[in-house]
Amino acid sequence: MRCNGDFQSGKSNRNSGFYDGHRLRCPLPDHPGTDPSFALIGLIYSITPDLDVDLGFKAGLSGTETDATLLTGLTMRF
């Protein structure tokens, strides 16, 4: 598996990923001066007073942010 260049075990630089023992990690693409930005919307529904279900959507607004992410959650109170 490659990430913008050659695989380097245990090492990291801007042009390649590195292996941390579990998975190959890829650096963010080079976009000088561009901070990650995103829009986020969510909904929480209370099934009972002690149980909530969450659903959300995150959309990337810049090239350094993930394009789209679906978010889910479950909250239990005791």
Nearest to 38 by CA among 3, 70, 62, 13: 62
Edge-to-edge order in the sheet of strand 38-48: 38-48, 51-60, 68-76
Residue 14 CA to residue 29 CA, distance in Å, equals: 8
What pTM did the predictor assign?
0.54
Asked if residue 48 has pLDDT above 90, the reply is: yes
Give residue-wise pLDDT tens across range 19-35. Answer: 455 555 565 555 556 78
Over residues 1-17, the pLDDT tens digits come to 445 444 444 444 444 44
pLDDT value for 15: 46
